[in-house]
Structure 1
Amino acid sequence: MDVLVTLIFSILAIIILVLAVIYFYATKNYRYWTDRGVPNLKPTFPYGNFGELIKQKIALVEYYEKLYKAFKGCPIAGYISVMEPVLLVRDPEIVKQMLVKDFDNFHDRGVYFDEEKDPLVAHLFNLTGQRWHQLRQKISPTFTSGKMRYMFPLIKACAEEFQKTVMREIEENGNEIEVKDLNARYTTDIIGSSAFGIDAGSLAEPEAEMRVIGRKIFPGETKDGIKNFIFFLSPKLSKFFKVKLVDPFVEESLIKIVSDTMEYREKNKIERNDFLQLLIRMKNDGRNDEVKNDGDVELNLNQLCAQCFVFFVGGFETSATTMTFTLYELAKNPSLQKDVADEVNRVLEAHNGVMTYESLADMNLLDMVIAEALRLYPPVPILFRECTRDYTIKGSDFPNLLSKGHSGDLLVEKGMKVIFPTCAMHRDPELFPDPERFDPQRFTEEAKAARSAFAYLPFGEGPRFCIGMRFGKMQTKAGIASLISKFELRLGSKSSGKLILDPASFVPTVKGGMFISFFPRKN
C-alpha cells in the first residue's frame, strides 16, 4: 500500500513539475515589454494577447484595428504572440526607416517553412537573405511596363470574355450575380494565360481545374484560419507543430500543370514571353540576359513550381478581392458609379472604342476609386518583418517612444518579429479623416502630397514591395472598366449591405458571398 501511495505521489509530482515548466516557458516573456518601457497589453496564459484570434472570435483585420486603437498616440507598442514578444509599429516615419532606410536590418519576413516537406512555400515572398535578393533581381524584369504592355492583349481578351460571361449569367439566371467567385474566375483565367500560357477556362466553366485549385488554397475553414495564423505570425509554433501550409491536392495539381507545360514546350520547342518561360530559362542555365553579373540562380522543379504558386496566389486572389470591394462600393454609390462609367466610356471613345494599355492609363478617376478600395479593404491587412540584426529606435527622434517613467532608446533584438498594421493605419482618422467614408478624392495628387507616403501601404514599401503591383493593378482596372462600361450596378437583395469579415480567413473576405445586380446600360 505504501508503495502504491508513493508511486501516485511521484506521478503527481512529475505532472505538476511538467506543468510548471510549461507554464514558466510559456510565460517567461510576459513582462518583456513592460520591463523595457514599451506600451503593451497584459497577456494571459496560455494565449498571450492572441486569445480572441486563436479562438476565432475576431477576424485578423478587426484584431489589429483593435490593437492599434488601444495605443493611440504611441509610435510603437508591444504584444505577446502566444509566447513570443512582437513589436507593433504605428508611426509612418518608423515604418519608413525600417522598410526603406534601414532595410538591411529588416529584409526577411521571418516565416518558418520546411522546403522539403512543403516545397511550394519556398517562394519569393518567404525566401530570405541572398537567395531572395538574387531571385528578386532575376524575376523583376517580368514586371516592367514594357512586359505589361506585351501581356495586355491577353488581359484584354479575358476582360472581353468577362463582360460576355456577365451577360450570359443575366440571360440564364437573372440580374443578381455573386461576384466574389466570378472575379476570381476572371483573374484565374488571366494568370493561366499570361503566366503559364494555358487556357484555364474558368469563366466558361466554374469548376475548371485551376479554379478548383484556387478554392483549395483559400477554403475559409476554421482549421485553415488557425493554420495560417500560426504560419505567418508565430514561427516558433510553426516549427514546433511542423505546419504544412499548402494542401496536398494543390501541391500535386500545380506541380503537374507546370511540369506538363514545361515538357510540352521543350518537346515542341515552343517559347513564350511569359513568367513561366523566364523560370524555365533560370532552371536550364541560370542566366537571364536582362540582368547581368548578379550571381547565378538555379531552380529545380519544386523551386520553379513554388514561384509559379506565389504568382498564381498573388495574381488571382488579391486582385479578385480588390475587384469585389470596388464593385461593392460602386454599387453603393450610384453618383460615383455614373462618374466612373462616364470617364471609362469617354476614354474608350477617344481610343476608337477599344480598350488599350494606353486607354487604361487615362482612366484617372477609376485609378482613384481602386486606390480607395485598397485603403478600406487592403488584401494584405498586415506587413511583417524579422529583425535580422540588433537595431535601435532612438528616443530622441520619437519623444513618446516609451511609457511614462522610461526614457532613452529601444533596442530591437535580432530575431524579433515586427508588425506593420496596414489595415489599421488605413482607417486611422488622424491619417485619413472620416476613414469609414469611401472617398476617392483622398488620392488626388494634392491629397497624396499632403500626407506621409508610408500611411498607405496596400503593396508594401521598400525593396520588398509587391513585385506584381503593376500586373495586379492592370488586370483589376481592365476587369472593372469592362463591366462598368456596359452595366449599371446595384446591391443585390441577397447582400445585407454590411460586409462581414471571416475569422477563418487571413485576408479580407465576404462570408456568404457578394451579390450585385447588373443591368445593361442604355447608350
Structure 2
Amino acid sequence: MDLLHRVLFTAFGTLTLFYVVVKISLGYWKRRGILHEKPKFLWGNIKGVVGGKRHVLDALQTIYDTHKGQAPFVGCYALLKPFVMVLDLELVHNILVSDEGYFTSRGLYNNVNNEPLSGNLLQLDGHKWRSLHAKSVTVFTSSNLQKLMPRLVQVSKIFGGRIGEQKLQQLNVSQLVDGYNIEVIGSLAFGLTGDQVEFRQMSRSYWNNFSLWRAYLALELPLLARLLQYTSYDELATNYFYNLVHAQLYQQRLRDRQPLQNFLQLFSAADDALSDAQIAAQAFGFILAGLEPLNATLGFCLYELALQPDLQDRVRSEIQQLLHQHDGQLTADSLKQLKYTKQVLNETLRLHTPYPFLLRRATKEFELAKSVFVIARGNNLIIPVAAIHRDPSIYPDPLRFDPARFEAAAVKARPAMSFLPFGQGLRGCIAMQLAEQQLLIGLVALLQHHKYAPCAETQIPLQYDNRKLLLMPKTDIQLSVEYVDT
C-alpha cells in the first residue's frame, strides 16, 4: 500500500508540475500585458497543425485576420513557445531592413560539431553567421551569376530536350520540375556532370529521419539536443553530400585554369576562402533552402497556366519572340525582356508562397517608434508572409491568379514589404537572383515547345500538404502535355 501511495503521489506531483509549467509558459503574453491570441492548453495557437489536420498557413492566417489593425504585433504560441506575430508592414520594414541589426538571428537549431552540414547560412546565427555571410556575399554577385549563366542554360536545354523525348499525353509535373531543379543544383552547386542517379536519390531522402516533435524540442532545448547529439538530417545522405563536395574540390584543384562552371570554384577561390567543410555546408544549403521551394513554384506556375490557357499562350509567345530575337540564346540581359513571364512568376510566388512565414529572433531589446510597445531581447518573431500576400486590402480578390498585379504601376502603388517571397535585408535569400534566373529559364524550357492543360487526374482546386511547413501540393500535380510547333 505504501508503494502504491508513493506511485500515486509521484504521478500526481509530476502531472501537477507539468500543468504548472504549461500554464506559466502559456501565460507569457498575459503577464506582459500584450495583446495576444488566446492559446489552447498545450497546443498554443497551432492546434491541428502538428497532427496534419490543417496547414500552418491557416493558423497564421486566422491570427492575422483577427488582429490586423489592432496593434503593430500580437502575441501567439507555437505549442508552448511564445512568438511575436508582426502585423504592421512598417514594423516588418524595421525588422527586415532599417533596424535589421536587432534581428539578425533566426533561432534555428544547428550542431556544426556533430552535423557539419548544419553550418549553412540558413541555420547559423550569431558571429558564425556574420562571418560566413561576409565571405559568401562576394560569391553571389551579378557578375559571378552572369559567368555561370551558360552552364545553367546548358542544363535547361538538356532538360528541354528530354521532355521532347517523352510520350506526351499526361505528365507528372511535380516529378518533371524536380528533375530539372536537381540537375541545376547538382551541376552549379556540386559541380556534377552526366548521370546524377545517386545525387537525385540523396536529394530526396535527407529528411527521412525528420520528426516534428524532436525538431521542436531541439529548438526549445538546443544545449540538451547538442549534448544528446541530435541530428536534423539522414546520416547516410549528409555523409554522401559531405564526401561528394570534398571529392569534387580535390578533383578541381588537380586541374589548372579550368573554366568557371560552379559555386564550388567560387567559394574556394574567394579572397576570404571558406574551409572545405564550410563549402560543403553551403552546397547542401542549395538543397535545403532551394529545392522544394523551386519545385513548388514551377509546379504551381504550370498548374495556374494550365487553368488559364490565354495567359499561358501569352507567356509562350513572349518566350518564343525573345528566342527568335536572340537566335535562341539566353543571357542575363535577355531574360529582362521576359516581363510578362516575370509577372506570372511573381504572381505564383504571391499566391503560392513557398515559405509562408519568416522567422527572426531579437538579439537586443527593440522599442517601437512612437509607441509603448517593446520587443524584448530573445523574443522569437514570425512574419506571416503568406497572410500578407493574401491580404485583400493589399491584393483585392487575393485568391484569384492575376499577373496584372505585378505591372509596374500596380507594384508602385502598393506599400513596401507587401511582397516577400525571398525575404529582405541581411537575412533575406542571398541567392535570390540565382533562384529567379533558374525559375525563368526553367519556364522557357517547359513552355517553349509544350502546352499544358488539366487532365482527369488534375486536383482542382489544388490542396496543400498539411504535413509540410512549406506550401507544397498535397499530391503530385498531373497535367496533360501537348507539343507545340514554333
Q: Which residue of 2 aligns with 1:285?
A: none
Aligned-partner SS, 1:165: helix
Q: Residues of 2 paired with 1:127 and 1:297: CA distance?
A: 18
1:469-488 correspondence runs (5 A): 469-488=432-451
Does 1:26 pair with 2:22?
A: yes
Q: Which residue of 2 aligns with 1:113?
A: 110
1:502 equivalent among 450, 454, 465 = 465
Does 1:136 pair with 2:107?
A: no
Letter in 2 for 1:85: P
TM-score (norm 1): 0.87
1:43-192 correspondence runs (5 A): 43-74=39-70, 75-170=72-167, 174-192=168-186
Q: Which residue of 1 aligns with 2:323?
A: 348
Does 1:263 pair with 2:250?
A: yes
Asked if 1 retains the 8 angstrom alpha-carbon contact of 2:177 and 2:295, the reply is yes
Q: Identify unmatched segments of 5+ residues in structure 2.
A: none
Q: Residues of 2 paired with 1:126 and 1:253: CA distance?
A: 20
1:324-335 correspondence runs (5 A): 324-335=299-310
Does 1:195 pair with 2:192?
A: no
Aligned-partner SS, 1:191: helix
Q: Residues of 2 paired with 1:410 and 1:214: CA distance?
A: 44
How far residue 34 of structure 1 moved from its aligned partner, in angstroms, is 2.6
Letter in 2 for 1:439: D
How far residue 302 of structure 1 moved from its aligned partner, in angstroms, is 3.3
Deviations 1:419-467 (A, max 9, x none): 0011111011011111001111111111111111201100001111101
Letter in 2 for 1:215: R
Asked if 1 retains the 8 angstrom alpha-carbon contact of 2:94 and 2:100, the reply is yes
Asked if 2 retains the 8 angstrom alpha-carbon contact of 1:189 and 1:201, the reply is no
Q: Identify unmatched segments of 5+ residues in structure 1.
A: 203-207, 282-287, 290-295, 398-408
Aligned-partner SS, 1:493: coil
Does 1:247 pair with 2:234?
A: yes
**Structure 1 pair 226–392 and aligned structure 2 pair: CA distance change class (3 A):** same
Q: Residues of 1 paired with 2:335 and 2:32: CA distance?
A: 51
Q: Which residue of 1 aligns with 2:298?
A: 323
How far residue 240 of structure 1 moved from its aligned partner, in angstroms, is 4.9
Deviations 1:480-509 (A, max 9, x none): 012212111112321122222112212111
Letter in 2 for 1:145: S
**Structure 1 pair 436–150 and aligned structure 2 pair: CA distance change class (3 A):** same
Letter in 1 for 2:27: R
How far residue 60 of structure 1 moved from its aligned partner, in angstroms, is 2.1
Does 1:387 pair with 2:362?
A: yes
How far residue 68 of structure 1 moved from its aligned partner, in angstroms, is 1.8
Q: Residues of 1 paired with 2:463 and 2:142: CA distance?
A: 36
Q: Residues of 1 paired with 2:138 and 2:213: CA distance?
A: 34
Asked if 1 retains the 8 angstrom alpha-carbon contact of 2:110 and 2:124, the reply is no
Letter in 2 for 1:190: V
Q: Residues of 1 paired with 2:475 and 2:158: CA distance?
A: 25
Asked if 2 retains the 8 angstrom alpha-carbon contact of 1:48 and 1:81, the reply is yes
Q: Residues of 2 paired with 1:228 and 1:520: CA distance?
A: 47
Aligned-partner SS, 1:70: helix
Q: Residues of 2 paired with 1:361 and 1:216: CA distance?
A: 36
Q: Residues of 1 paired with 2:102 and 2:120: CA distance?
A: 21
TM-score (norm 2): 0.93
**Structure 1 pair 380–200 and aligned structure 2 pair: CA distance change class (3 A):** farther
Aligned-partner SS, 2:49: helix
How far residue 266 of structure 1 moved from its aligned partner, in angstroms, is 2.5
Q: Give aligned pairs, total.
A: 481
| Bigger shift: residues 13-22 or 97-106 | 13-22
Q: Residues of 2 paired with 1:150 and 1:343: CA distance?
A: 25
Q: Residues of 2 paired with 1:7 and 1:483: CA distance?
A: 71
Q: Which residue of 2 aligns with 1:209?
A: 198
How far residue 239 of structure 1 moved from its aligned partner, in angstroms, is 5.2
Asked if 1 retains the 8 angstrom alpha-carbon contact of 2:105 and 2:360, the reply is yes
Q: Which residue of 2 aligns with 1:464?
A: 427
**Structure 1 pair 118–312 and aligned structure 2 pair: CA distance change class (3 A):** same
Asked if 1 retains the 8 angstrom alpha-carbon contact of 2:139 and 2:267, the reply is no
How far residue 81 of structure 1 moved from its aligned partner, in angstroms, is 2.1
Q: Residues of 2 paired with 1:426 and 1:458: CA distance?
A: 9
Asked if 2 retains the 8 angstrom alpha-carbon contact of 1:26 and 1:46, the reply is yes
Letter in 2 for 1:160: K
Deviations 1:314-339 (A, max 9, x none): 34332222111111111111111111
Letter in 1 for 2:399: E
Aligned-partner SS, 2:417: helix
Letter in 2 for 1:66: T
**Structure 1 pair 493–240 and aligned structure 2 pair: CA distance change class (3 A):** farther
Does 1:236 pair with 2:220?
A: yes
Asked if 2 retains the 8 angstrom alpha-carbon contact of 1:169 and 1:175, the reply is no
Letter in 1 for 2:265: Q
How far residue 479 of structure 1 moved from its aligned partner, in angstroms, is 1.0
Q: Residues of 1 paired with 2:288 and 2:158: CA distance?
A: 21
Letter in 2 for 1:235: L
How far residue 211 of structure 1 moved from its aligned partner, in angstroms, is 1.1
Asked if 2 retains the 8 angstrom alpha-carbon contact of 1:325 and 1:373, the reply is yes
**Structure 1 pair 200–382 and aligned structure 2 pair: CA distance change class (3 A):** farther
Q: Which residue of 2 aligns with 1:445?
A: 408
Q: Which residue of 1 aligns with 2:351?
A: 376
How far residue 215 of structure 1 moved from its aligned partner, in angstroms, is 1.1
Asked if 1 retains the 8 angstrom alpha-carbon contact of 2:466 and 2:474, the reply is no
